[in-house]
A and B are shown apart, each in its own frame.
Chain A
Amino acid sequence: MRTMNISKLFLGIVALLVAPLVVSAQQGESHIGKVSGHPDAGRHLYFRYCWGCHGFHGDGNGENAPYLNILPRNFVAATFKCRSTPTGTLPTDQDLFNSLVRGFNNSNMPSWIALTDQNRADLVAFIKTFSPRWKTEKAGDAIAVTPEPKLTLESIKHGQELFQKLECWKCHGQEGRGDGPSASTLTDSNDQPIRPYNFAAGSRFKCGSTNEDLYKIFLTGVDGTPMPSFGDVVKPEEAWDLVHFLRTLQVNHKSPELALWESTKEGAEQVASRKVKGTPTGGGIDQ
């Protein structure tokens, strides 16, 4: 009887000693789908691939930083551009993972598709150790993305009205070329000059390339830049109308929305006047 009690006591003590280790191993983990990342595994990846720009302390002051136009993300401040969560809140693990996969268009942040999913999950877990905010705040609640309704001309027209009413043109310009009245004075939160997205150029958005990415961009804002969140003022059913209209501004990028718009007389004239004519090698471009 005594030996049984002693062995139970022994097991109990071992459990007590091991439990904190188990708990601390679970803290600071990242979870993306079925993959879990760990900060200790992410550390050596960060100091191999990331610290040259993002810095020894994760504050964006890496060796390369003085030569970069868009400065590297400061992980200590934890203000992130591309999120599915409301402005001012922390992104989800999936948001950070997606940023690693996509990279950031028109910036020095490449797409890290050469790394494995496990590598990227470990990096996400390590990046979260730079800011004390991850210890005291939970990530924001991802915004509700309603199912995209059918594409119609009414939707595009309503989106055009929204573009006027919300005064998007003040920065993005009436043709979406990033040449609105306020465009030339814009600075980001590091006081660096920054231009609004040019829809007519048709390049990928900063935070993705799908309609859903576009929907999330204006409903969560691009934190750290002049692009605010319209989450207070745009209802979900209106948001898709705006998405459909914005696609028609991308005159050099094929999309169902642009095709539908071009099938109307007004749309065909408008797109023809805005589209770049001529060949990619420069022949036939009207000066």
Chain B
Amino acid sequence: MRAKAGYVVGIAALAVCAVIVHAGPSGGTVSGKVTYEGTPAKQKPIDMSKEPSCAKQHATPITTETVVTGPSNALDNVVVYVSAGAPDESAPGQAAKYEQKGCQYVPHVLAFQVNQTFEILNDDQTSHNIHPLPKINREWNRSQPPGSAPISEKYDKPEFIPVKCNIHPWMHGNFAVLKNSHYAITEGEGGFSLAGLPPGKYTITAWHESYGDQSQDVVISGNETKTISFVFKAKPY
């Protein structure tokens, strides 16, 4: 009888453990949407006739990407991140990838951490020069002909860095060099979700390349999900 009771207790303990394991990630979540109000500037089509090898990759010309929007006034390419309240984290081993494809930077905004390696690839049949323009980090400028190896680099200070190619003046992108792993970039419907936040007071900042940045404070006490929203004022120019 005692042995049987022991088995029952043991199985019950295992079941409880299973429930705990499947309860979900620990820590709270901050999620929400980024939208805009007003009329954003019209994006202009890009004339790539000076680079035929890229022009023919686009059936219809692509447009500039200074403001990218989604359905229901969603604002895309916004970097939402924890700017205060979370400790600085050491860089992950995996490299972030930045591609030059069809004479365009993919993704338009690349976010990675301080001292994390990022790799730049040239998928086109033309040379590009990769020229980030930091004000705090070191400025460098490297040529990358087609078929050459990816360029590996990293930055040691947090900063938002515009990136350009001097040969193809329409190419614009951004690097977001961040201090911790709590970040997301909005796309499509403009939603973001920052999970795994231990209890504490956090400052969440949303940054957009044309509209600047906004911050809000959020307090996480347990495993709850707090919903916040950011609304940017669009400018018609």
Query: Residues of A with Cβ closer than 8 Å to B?
Result: 77, 79, 87-89, 133, 165-167, 170-171, 181-182, 185-186, 189, 221, 223-233
Contacts and interface: CB of A to CB of B under 8 A. Distances in A.
A228 B129 contact: yes
Main DSSP-derived SS at the A contact region? loop
A279 B235 CA distance: 57
A223 B139 contact: yes
B126 interface: yes
A87 B133 contact: no
- Of A165, A223, A226, the most chain B CB neighbours within 10 A belong to A226
Contacts of B100: none
A181 B51 CA distance: 9
Contacts of A166: 127, 143, 145
B50 interface: yes
A223 B50 CA distance: 25
Contacts of A133: 138
A230 B143 contact: yes
Given A167-B145, A189-B133, A226-B129, A88 B166 contact: no
Contacts of A233: 143-145, 148
A267 to B, nearest CB: 27
- Of A79, A227, A228, A233, the most chain B CB neighbours within 10 A belong to A228
A2 to B, nearest CB: 56
A182 B167 contact: yes
A79 B137 CA distance: 10
Given A166-B145, A182-B168, A223-B141, 9 more contacts: A87-B140, A88-B138, A133-B138, A182-B169, A189-B139, A223-B140, A232-B142, A233-B143, A233-B144
B151 interface: yes
B182 interface: no
A223 B168 CA distance: 18
A221 B166 CA distance: 13
B8 to A, nearest CB: 64
- Of B130, B142, B168, the most chain A CB neighbours within 10 A belong to B142
Give the 10 A-B residue pairs with the shortest CB-CB distance, closest first: A88-B140, A226-B166, A228-B129, A185-B169, A228-B143, A228-B141, A87-B140, A167-B127, A88-B138, A79-B139
Given A181-B50, A226-B129, A232-B151, A167 B140 contact: no
Interface in B34-73: 50
Interface in B129-187: 129-131, 133, 135, 138-145, 148-149, 151, 166-169
